């Protein structure tokens, strides 16, 4: 059973500390605790939780909302027969969820060898410190503020915990610290919030970076015949090339709409949102402004 598409088509994310989020708090509306999004929760959980590829398993965090879709996907990755696993994005600091990840690994007769973070947003990273304490494993992240007793992550790094081959691909755009993890043995790519299981992400980084990232992922998917994308939110994607082509098309269409709004006299992100996203709930306009600001910056750089 599929829930209807999120109100804001650029669906997803949460950015603690941004002006848009503070605005939402001021008006008393929390998109991360939306009763509307929570209503379909059990059906969606049974759909995504426990899915994966031969080497990957999703443990869905209980934080569904308009901004996080069904909740955050925590990924457990293990080579067949290996004693150690890699955990990607422990998710929010929710004790029940963190214990559930640890128990799932234990039931497999394994232990956690490494914890990785796809990007700094709290719905992916907030529980990492507590999960590190719970399991004794270190946390690797691009952003030094999110590392715990372990080194960083950089493009081209290869993670070999438990005999895995997990390749780090820098994918700036959603945030400037976003990375994807490529698992060649499963022809799978863990995409964080760069590519979502439904809709497209809000941009908290640069649109120029994001478009270059999409082109790079399209090339990687084609060259390596990647057959599955495992997103940070929403269900597995079985048509990576088609999804990325759609993302590129969608971004170009939105950019054309923004150009048109500017030509029609819109000067601020808020005015552009009123033109381009005039049909969505006004409460969501501050969120749409993040993406519009990235689009305006992109156009300004090129003029
Ligand atoms: Zn994010």
Chain segment 62-75, per-residue pLDDT in tens: 999 877 889 999 99
Centre of ligand 1 from the C-alpha of residue 263, in Å: 31
pLDDT band at 45 (very low <50, low <70, confident <90, very high): low
Centre of ligand 1 from the C-alpha of residue 264, in Å: 32
Asked whether residue 12 carries a pLDDT value surpassing 60, the answer given is no
Centre of ligand 1 from the C-alpha of residue 140, in Å: 17
Report the CATH number that the domain containing residue 131 is assigned in CATH. 3.60.15.10
In 10 A of CB 299, how many CB atoms? 14
Residues forming a β-bridge with 87: 76, 115
Centre of ligand 1 from the C-alpha of residue 67, in Å: 9
Centre of ligand 1 from the C-alpha of residue 194, in Å: 8
pLDDT for the residue 26:
52
Residue at 6 is within a domain: no
Q: Per residue in 116-153, pLDDT tens?
A: 999 999 999 999 999 999 999 999 999 999 999 989 99
* 179-183 vs 188-192, strand pairing mode: antiparallel
pLDDT for the residue 46:
55
Q: What is the mean pLDDT of residues 13-24?
A: 43
Mean pLDDT, the chain, whole residue set: 87
Asked whether residue 37 carries a pLDDT value surpassing 80, the answer given is no
In total, how many domains does the chain have? 1
Asked whether residue 221 carries a pLDDT value surpassing 50, the answer given is yes
In 10 A of CB 93, how many CB atoms? 15
Ordered DSSP codes for 84-153? EEEEE---SS-HHHHHHHHHHHHHTT-EEEEEE-S-S-HHHHTTHHHHHHHH---EE-SSGGG-BSS---
Our measurement of the distance from residue 303's CA atom to the centroid of its chain's CA atoms, rounded to an integer in Å, reads 31
pLDDT band at 280 (very low <50, low <70, confident <90, very high): confident
Note the pTM of the prediction, 2 decimals.
0.85
Q: Sign of dihedral through CA atoms 10, 15, 18, 22?
A: positive
Asked whether residue 230 carries a pLDDT value surpassing 90, the answer given is yes
- Distances from the Cα of 252 to the Cα of 17, 205, 214, 217, 266, angstroms: 28, 17, 12, 17, 19
Q: How many residues does the chain have?
A: 303
Asked whether residue 231 carries a pLDDT value surpassing 80, the answer given is yes
Residue at 292 is within a domain: no
Centre of ligand 1 from the C-alpha of residue 121, in Å: 5
Measured distance CA(66)–CA(126) in Å, rounded: 19
Centre of ligand 1 from the C-alpha of residue 13, in Å: 5
- Determine the 3-state secondary structure of 77 from DSSP: strand
Residue at 42 is within a domain: yes
pLDDT for the residue 90:
98
Dihedral angle over CA of 74, 71, 208, 261, nearest 10: 180
3-state helix, strand, coil in the chain (%, to 5): 40, 15, 40
Centre of ligand 1 from the C-alpha of residue 147, in Å: 17
Task: Give residue for tokens 């497999």.
Answer: 108
Centre of ligand 1 from the C-alpha of residue 81, in Å: 32
Q: Per residue in 178-189, pLDDT tens?
A: 999 999 999 999
pLDDT for the residue 303:
65
pLDDT for the residue 287:
82
Residue at 145 is within a domain: yes
Centre of ligand 1 from the C-alpha of residue 175, in Å: 7
Share of the chain above pLDDT 90, in %: 73
Least confident span in 112-116, 167-171, 182-186, 291-295: 291-295
Asked whether residue 255 carries a pLDDT value surpassing 60, the answer given is yes
Task: For residue 37, give its domain range.
Answer: 19-248
pLDDT band at 13 (very low <50, low <70, confident <90, very high): very low
Centre of ligand 1 from the C-alpha of residue 192, in Å: 7
Asked whether residue 1 carries a pLDDT value surpassing 50, the answer given is no
Centre of ligand 1 from the C-alpha of residue 14, in Å: 6
């Amino acid at each position: 059973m599929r829930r209807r598409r999120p109100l804001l088509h650029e669906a997803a994310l949460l950015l603690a500390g941004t002006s848009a989020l503070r605005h939402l708090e001021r008006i008393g509306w929390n998109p991360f605790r939306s009763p509307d999004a929570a209503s379909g929760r059990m059906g969606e959980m049974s759909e995504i939780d426990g899915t994966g590829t031969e080497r990957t398993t999703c443990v869905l965090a209980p934080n569904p909302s308009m901004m996080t879709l069904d909740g955050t996907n925590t990924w457990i990755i293990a080579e067949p027969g290996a004693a150690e696993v890699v955990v990607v994005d422990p998710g929010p600091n929710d004790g029940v969820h963190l214990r559930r990840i640890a128990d799932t690994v234990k039931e497999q007769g394994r232990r956690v060898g490494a914890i990785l973070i796809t990007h700094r947003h709290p719905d992916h990273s907030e529980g990492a410190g507590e999960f590190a304490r719970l399991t004794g494993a270190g946390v690797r992240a691009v952003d030094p503020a999110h590392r715990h007793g372990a080194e960083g992550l950089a493009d081209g790094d290869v993670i070999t915990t438990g005999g895995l081959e997990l390749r780090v691909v820098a994918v700036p755009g959603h945030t400037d610290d976003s990375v994807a993890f490529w698992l060649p043995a499963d022809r799978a790519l863990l995409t964080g919030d760069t590519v979502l299981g439904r809709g497209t992400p809000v941009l908290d980084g640069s649109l120029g970076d994001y478009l270059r990232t999409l082109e790079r992922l399209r090339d990687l998917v084609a060259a390596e015949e990647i057959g599955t994308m495992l997103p940070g939110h929403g269900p597995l994607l079985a048509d990576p090339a088609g999804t990325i082509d759609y993302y590129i098309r969608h971004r170009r269409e939105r950019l054309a709409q923004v150009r048109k709004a500017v030509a029609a006299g819109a000067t601020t992100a808020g005015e552009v949102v009123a033109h381009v996203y005039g049909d969505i709930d006004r409460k969501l306009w501050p969120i749409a402004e993040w993406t519009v600001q990235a689009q305006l910056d992109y156009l300004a750089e090129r003029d």
